[in-house]
Structures are given as C-alpha cells and as structure tokens.
Amino acid sequence: MSVTTLAVLVVPVAIITALLLARPVSARTADEGGLRKDLRQRFGPEFDRVTARHHGDPKAAERELGARLRHFRGLRLKDLSEPERAQYRAQWDGLQEQFVDCPGAVAAKANLLLNRLATSRGFPAESRALQFEALSVHHPEEVEGARLLDAAAHQAGTGTGTEAGDAETMRHAMVAGRALFDVLIAPPAHTPPSPHAAHHIPS
C-alpha cells in the first residue's frame, strides 16, 4: 500500500474520530449552559447570591441549586384556612402598630411570626437555614426579605449599631419580610399587592 493511499484512508478516520470525541464535550457544554440559564431564570437573584458565596463560581452554584431544587421541589405545602389567614394578618398588623415604640423587639417578633407561618405552610422547621433553602425554591424573589428580617432580629438581640441606624434597618427588614409574608398567606392563584405600596411601616 502506497503512502498516498494510506494517507487517504487514515486522515478521514482521524477526522471522524476527533469529531466523535469532541461532540460529547460540545453537547455537555451546551447542556451546562442550558442548565445555568434555567436555574438563573428560576432562582433569579438567589442564583447570584449563591454564586457570590461560592466566590463567583457559577458551576458550584449550579450544583448547590440543582441539589436544592431536587430536594425541595416536591415539598408538600399546606394551604391556610381563611380564619388562619385573618389571624396571621391581625398579628402582623398589630406588630406594625407597635413598631415606632420598639422597632427591635417588633422585628424580632415579626421574624418569629414569619418563621411560624412558613412552618405552618409546610416548610422545614428544623433550622432557619434549611427553611430558607426550601423557600428559595418556591419563592426565590421573596426569600431574601426573610433573611433580612432574620438578620435584623439577631441584630436587635445583640444590640449592635446606633439607635437611629437600628430603627431604619428594622423598618427596611419589616418591609422586606412582609413581601414573603403576603405570598405565604395569599389564597391559591392570588397575587398579593406589593408590600411597598400596601403596607407602610412608620418611621
């Protein structure tokens, strides 16, 4: 067999082999890109928060959020009866009325109330961290408000910061936490009004 004939046979085989080897890599890259897009669309700002916690590594964020989605997507959530909704609303509204006199104490009580509401809806009660993870799957846009309220409640408990700064922090946390509160007490297929427009926390 001549060198020319051998080259004619070997080169196409080499090219085909290279294409076959490269194809899974390209497909895998496309799959990863599609997964990242899906997770970013589903989790919104939560995707960016988790990516930042992983020092800007989106693949690490994908692994964490993918596992979180598999774990909590099928969570059996419970609906509230109308009397239960009315009771929760009355409790939160009562706290808002007390805010000016004791913002730190009110934020702490609101944090406990939001935790109790989430638990009654069927979200994990073992720890707040686990509860936040589950909430991020079902309410990714509002879960950060719950984190802010939880952090403000801890700040109130430790007494850190200036008095004026504390009051503003607590007010902001209450407004942010109310967004999740409204979603959790809303009847099925009901979109609650914006808490920024409907619920004013006095300064």
CA 140 vs. chain centroid, Å, equals: 4
Among 120, 192, 115, 125, smallest CA distance to 146 is for: 115
Of 72, 96, 130, the position where a domain reaches its end is 72
203 within some domain: no
**57 and 9 assigned to the same domain:** yes
Rounded to whole angstroms, how far apart are CA atoms 74 and 190?
A: 21
Among 202, 116, 201, 104, smallest CA distance to 153 is for: 104
Question: Could you tell me what percentage of the chain is helix, strand and coil, using 3-state DSSP and rounding each to the nearest 5?
Answer: 75, 0, 25
**90 and 61 assigned to the same domain:** no
pLDDT in tens, 148-193: 999 999 988 776 554 555 889 999 999 999 999 999 999 877 545 5
77 within some domain: no
68 within some domain: yes
**193 and 96 assigned to the same domain:** yes
Of 23, 39, 72, the position where a domain reaches its end is 72
Overall number of domains in the chain: 2
pLDDT in tens, 39-83: 989 999 999 999 999 999 999 999 999 999 999 999 999 999 999
Residue found by looking up tokens 């297929």 in the block: 189
Residue 3 or residue 86, greater confidence:
86
**184 and 96 assigned to the same domain:** yes
DSSP assignment of 39-57, as one string? Answer: HHHHHTHHHHHHHHHTTT-
Of 50, 72, 94, the position where a domain reaches its end is 72
pLDDT in tens, 9-49: 444 545 555 544 554 544 444 455 676 788 989 999 999 99
41 within some domain: yes
**125 and 162 assigned to the same domain:** yes
**60 and 151 assigned to the same domain:** no
Residue found by looking up tokens 């009004």 in the block: 193
pTM (two decimals):
0.74
Rounded to whole angstroms, how far apart are CA atoms 154 and 145?
A: 14
**19 and 101 assigned to the same domain:** no
**148 and 188 assigned to the same domain:** yes
Domain range enclosing 13: 3-72
**121 and 189 assigned to the same domain:** yes
